[in-house]
Amino acid sequence: MATQKPFADDQTASGAELPPAFDAGYYLSANPDLAIAADAAADHYAATGRAEGRVASPLALRENLIGLIADGRSVLEIGPFCRPLLRGPNIAYLDVLDAGQLRARAVEVGADPAGCPAHIDYVGGLEQVRRRFDAVISSHAIEHQPDLIHHLQQIERILQADGLFCLIVPDKRYCFDHYIAESTIADVIEAHREQRRRHSLASVIEHHALTTHNDPRLHWAGDHGPAVRADRVAQVEKAMRSHDFNPGRYIDVHAWYFTPDSFRTTIETLTELGLIGLELAGVYDTVRGRNEFCAVLRLGAAARARVREGRDEGGVLFLQTADAEHYAPMLAITAAGVREYCRRHGFGYESFLGVKRGFHPWQATFNRIPMLEELVARGFTGWAVYLDADAYIQDLDFDLAAYLADKGDRAAIFATSGVTGEHWDVNAGVALINLGHPLGRELVARWSAAFAGHSDETLRDATEWMGAGNDQDLLHKILERDEAIARAVLVEPMSLLNGPQARFIRQQLRTLGPTLEARTEALANAVSAVLRNNGGGPVPATEADQRWAARFAHPQGRLPSLVEAPVPSPMLELAAGIAGIWSAAGGAEEQPPGYQRDLADRLHAGDAGAVAAELAALGRARSAQGFLGGARQHERARDPRFADRLARWTYDKLVSLAEAVGVLRLENPENGGWGENALTDPAELFAAVEAVLDADLAPPASVGGHLGIAVGRSIILHMRMLDAIHAAWRLRQLADMAGLGRDACIAEIGGGAGLTAYYASRLGLARYRLFDTPTMNVIQAYLLGGAAQPQPLAGFAAQAPGSVDILFNSDTLPGMERSAALAHLRDAERIGVRHILSINQEAAVPGQAPLSELLRETGGYRLASRHRHWLRAGYVEEHYLRT
C-alpha cells in the first residue's frame, strides 16, 4: 500500500488541524478496490472496512505519524532502543538505559547495536526533564509505564503550548498480548493511587505466562496460538522470581493492554476527571497486517493557557557536557553518580555530547556557556548546577536544597581556584548559577557575549587549548571588571566544591593525573566507591543517621514508594454522637496538648462537620501527631530523604511482622540465604500475614490521609498499623496461653488512635476497653466507627473486681507523671488484673521510668517473660503475672 502524505506541502502540524480518524477521500484513494460513492464511504468503513483493517486516515500509518513532526522542530523521543524514529541535532532521547546499556541489550536480543543512539540525553524517568519540546514521540513505550497517569502528567509538563504527543501503541488484539484482558480505567487509577513505580507482579506473570505469538499477520487471519501455554507453571515461577529478586532493576514487560477504542475511552475519561491536562487530538485505527495503532494527544485549553502565560518552574537542574572523542568516557562515568544524586533528590539533569560551537574537541569546554544561555532563553528560573566531565558527586546525601535555601540573594556560587586568592580567581569546573537572580542572568549574558567575541576563524585556528580566552578566563575577566556581579557571587572553599577532598563535589583535575586514561580510571574507582557506599564516602555518619540506621532490622532491601491513603467521606452522625463522649468525659475542662487544641475547640463549639472532616483525614491532621503521623509527618515527608526512610521503615516492619508470625523464616547470617526476605513483594507479604492470622487486616475504613506503603487491594499501611497488628496478635497469643481464649477482657491505658483495639477485634478479641484523655477518646471512637465507647483514664479505677483479665500498655505508662502511672498499676492489682503486657522503651529520658521500676515500687506482679520487640528497635516486650 502506498504511503500518502498527511498534509499539503505548505502545511505544518503546529497549529494545523490533524487529519480525522476517518477521511472519506483518503479512504477511497487508499483502497482503490472499493467501487462506492464518497457519501457511502463512512457507512462502508463502519460496516466492514474497519474490521477488515482498511486504512482510513494517513495517520493510521506510523511512517506518516513520524513525518508529521520530522520538520526540524524540537522532539523528545521516548524509548529509541536501537531503532530511533528520528535523528538530528533537534532530537533528544530518553530511555531507561544509557547508550552503552542499550547496545549491550541489543546484542543480548540479537538486534544491531550500531543502530542505538550515540548518546541518551535523559536516562530514567521524565521527572528529570526540565525543558519543553515541540513534540514528544513514543513508539511501543507507553504500555510499559507502571503509572500511566503520572507519565501523562509528566508529558503535559514538558510540552510546548502547541506541542503534540505522538504515540504508536500496540493493539493487544494483534500482538502477543492477545489473551490478556484489556486494561480498564479502574486499573489505571489504582496504579496511580498506589504511585506505582515498578511493574506489579500481575504484569510480570502476564508477560511470562499469558502471552502468545507476536505475528500480526497470523492474528489478523484468526490464528492466535494456544490460549494456555504448556509451560505456564514454569513461566509463572520464572515471573515470580524475576519480580521478587530484582529490586530496583528495570523489568521489560507491559503494564497496559489497549485497543484503539479502549485507549480512546481511557484518555477521555482521565481528561474529564481532571487527572491529566492532555486531550485527544486523534486515535487512528489499526491497519491490517500491523499490530499497532497511532494516536496524538495535545494540551487542553487550560494547560495551553498556563504554558503561554507562565514560565518554566524553578528548582535545581544539573548540567554536564563533553566532546564525543576524548572526554565522553569520562562523562559516562561521572554522569552515573550525578544522575543518581538527581534521582534521589528530585533534581533535573541534562547533558550534551559534542561541540556546540567550535571546530576541535577541546572546544566542548565552551559548551557550558550556550547551555546556560539556552536555559535563560526558555525561561528557567532555578539554580543551574554545572559540572565538568571530570567532576563527580562525593556525597549522594548532601542536602543541596537546604544549602541553597538562604542563598537566593546570590547570583552564583563557585569554589576558589586556590591559586591567587583574588576574589575573581574561581574554578569554572563546578558552577552554581542562580538564573532567578537578575545578576545571575546578567552573568550568563556577559559570558555569552565574551564567547561570541571569538570569531569562527579564531576558533578554527585554535587547535590546542587557549591559555587566554578560554571559558574560565572569560569568566575571570567578568568577575574582575564587574563589581556588582562579583559582589553577588559567593566563593566557597575547595573543601566543599572542586577540591580533591571536597565534601560535596570533587574534581579530578588535569594536575592530578599524568594522562587522560589515568584520570578516567581514577574517576571510575571514585564513582564506583561512592555508589557502592551509598554516598557516604569518608564523611562520618551523624548521630541522627546512625539512629535512623539502627531502626532497620533489614539494612538492605526494597525501596517502596511512600504514598498517601485516600480520605473517606466524613461521618457526620458519628461525629455528632462522639462529641457527647467528649463532654461527658470532662473534655471542656481538659488541657490538651497544643497540636490537639484545634480539635478540642471544634468539639467545644459543637461543630460536627468540622470534627468529622478532621477525623476522616486523621492521618494528615495536626491532632494525629505521635500515633498516626499527622500534619508534622506530612511536612517532614516533603524532604525526599525522610520520605524514603519512612517508606523503608514501614516496609521493614512488614517484613519483621511476617518473620514474627512465621510467614518468613528468620534468616541466619551464619548459614543459608541472606537478604532475600527484604526483597519480597509487600502485597504478597501482607496477604500471607492475613492468611496466617486468619483475618482481614485492612485498615479502618473510617480514617485516611496517612502516609504509608501500598500492600495491594488499594490498602495503604501506616507503620503504626503494623505495630498494632503485632500487638493484637501478641494479645491473642497471651489470651490463648492463659486459657481465656476469645472471651478475654482486655483493658488498654493510652491506646493512641485505637489501632490495637481495632485489630484485636479483627483477631476475635471483642471485649476490649480503652482508657484515655477525653480528646483521645473522641479520636478512638471515630476510628472504631462507634463500635466501642472509650472511657476517660479515671474510669479504669472504677472497673469491677475480676472484670479485666489483661492490662495492655504501649508508649504510655512510662511517659506519664509517675504518681499517675503508679496509681494505675495499683488499681490493676486491686481489681484483680491477672496479666500485664507491656511494649515500651527503656531509654534514660528525664521524667520517665521503665515499667519494671514502677512495678518494683507497687509490687503485686512478677516478670514472666522479657525480650526485644520484633518490630520496634529499642523497645522491650514484657509479660507480668499477678503474684
Reported as a single tens digit per residue, the pLDDT across 455-486 is: 999 999 888 877 778 999 999 999 999 999 99
**CB contact at 8 A, 386 and 372:** yes
For 288-332, write each residue's pLDDT tens digit: 999 999 999 999 998 888 777 654 455 789 999 998 888 888 888
The dihedral of CA 733, 734, 739, 741: what is its sign?
negative
Please check whether residues 224 and 333 belong to one and the same domain. no
For 628-676, write each residue's pLDDT tens digit: 999 889 888 877 778 888 999 999 999 999 999 999 999 998 888 778 8
Asked if residue 768 has pLDDT above 50, the reply is yes
For 711-723, write each residue's pLDDT tens digit: 988 899 999 999 9
Mean pLDDT within 177-201: 92
For 335-360, write each residue's pLDDT tens digit: 888 988 887 777 888 888 889 999 99
Q: Domain residues for 441?
A: 316-532
Closest Cα to residue 700, out of 749, 759, 617, 634? 759
Identity (one letter) of the amino acid at 586? Answer: G
For 670-704, write each residue's pLDDT tens digit: 888 778 888 888 999 999 999 999 999 999 999 99
**CB contact at 8 A, 77 and 85:** yes
For the record, the C-alpha cell of 530 comes out as 561512592
pLDDT of residue 304: 86
Bridge partners (DSSP) listed for residue 772: 792
Residue 62 belongs to a domain: yes
Please check whether residues 300 and 414 belong to one and the same domain. no
How far from the centroid of its chain's Cα atoms is residue 441's Cα?
A: 32
Q: Into how many domains does the chain fold?
A: 3
**CB contact at 8 A, 184 and 78:** no
pLDDT of residue 585: 72
Please check whether residues 232 and 121 belong to one and the same domain. yes
Asked if residue 90 has pLDDT above 90, the reply is no
Identity (one letter) of the amino acid at 712? Answer: G
For 803-816, write each residue's pLDDT tens digit: 999 999 999 999 89
pLDDT of residue 511: 55
Please check whether residues 363 and 464 belong to one and the same domain. yes
Residues 6+ apart with CB under 8 A from 580: none
Please check whether residues 281 and 355 belong to one and the same domain. no
Mean pLDDT within 274-299: 96
pLDDT of residue 521: 82
Mean pLDDT within 164-173: 97
For 833-871, write each residue's pLDDT tens digit: 999 999 999 987 777 899 999 999 999 999 999 999 999
Asked if residue 539 has pLDDT above 60, the reply is no
Hunting for cell 499477678 — which residue is that? 882
pLDDT of residue 249: 62
Mean pLDDT within 267-280: 94
Residue 602 belongs to a domain: no
Highest mean predicted confidence (pLDDT) among 196-200, 226-230, 537-541: 226-230
Last residue of some domain: 517, 532, 547? 532
For the record, the C-alpha cell of 307 comes out as 504554558
CATH number of the domain that residue 326 is part of: 3.90.550.10
Spatial separation of the C-alpha atoms in residues 530 and 655, rounded to whole Å: 28
Bridge partners (DSSP) listed for residue 432: 385, 413
Mean residue pLDDT of the chain comes to 89
What percentage of the chain reaches a pLDDT higher than 70? 95
Determine the straight-line distance between the first and last CA of the chain, rounded to whole angstroms: 93
CATH number of the domain that residue 865 is part of: 3.40.50.150
pLDDT of residue 760: 97
Residue 112 neighbours by CB distance under 10 Å: 11
Asked if residue 552 has pLDDT above 90, the reply is yes
Residue 493 belongs to a domain: yes
pLDDT of residue 278: 95
For the record, the C-alpha cell of 295 comes out as 494516536
Given the DSSP bridges, would you call strands 835-841 and 806-810 parallel, antiparallel or unpaired?
A: parallel
Residue 589 belongs to a domain: no
Please check whether residues 73 and 218 belong to one and the same domain. yes
* Per-residue 3-state assignment (H helix, E strand, C coil) for 831-856: CCCCEEEEEEECCCCCCCCCHHHHHH
For 350-408, write each residue's pLDDT tens digit: 888 889 999 999 999 999 999 999 988 877 888 999 999 999 999 988 989 889 888 88
pLDDT of residue 30: 93
What percentage of the chain reaches a pLDDT higher than 90? 60
DSSP secondary-structure letter at 411? S
Residue 742 neighbours by CB distance under 10 Å: 12
Mean pLDDT within 815-829: 94
pLDDT of residue 41: 94
Hunting for cell 525522610 — which residue is that? 642
Mean pLDDT within 492-497: 89
- Split at pLDDT 50, 70, 90, the class of 513 is low
pLDDT of residue 129: 82
Last residue of some domain: 514, 532, 550? 532
Residue 391 belongs to a domain: yes
Last residue of some domain: 504, 532, 560? 532
Q: What is the DSSP string of 293-311?
A: EEEEEEE-HHHHHHHHHS-
For the record, the C-alpha cell of 123 comes out as 536516562
For the record, the C-alpha cell of 565 comes out as 491513603
Gyration radius of the chain's alpha carbons: 32
Residue 809 belongs to a domain: yes
Please check whether residues 85 and 195 belong to one and the same domain. yes
Residue 45 belongs to a domain: no
- Split at pLDDT 50, 70, 90, the class of 595 is confident
For 49-58, write each residue's pLDDT tens digit: 999 999 999 9
Element (H, E) at 575: helix 572-584
Mean pLDDT within 231-235: 91
Residue 276 belongs to a domain: yes
Please check whether residues 820 and 866 belong to one and the same domain. yes
Mean pLDDT within 783-800: 86
Exposure of 75 by Cβ count < 10 A (0-12 exposed, 13-18 middle, 19+ buried)? buried
Please check whether residues 204 and 351 belong to one and the same domain. no
pLDDT of residue 659: 97
Please check whether residues 173 and 256 belong to one and the same domain. yes
pLDDT of residue 13: 37
Hunting for cell 549491550 — which residue is that? 104
Please check whether residues 334 and 261 belong to one and the same domain. no
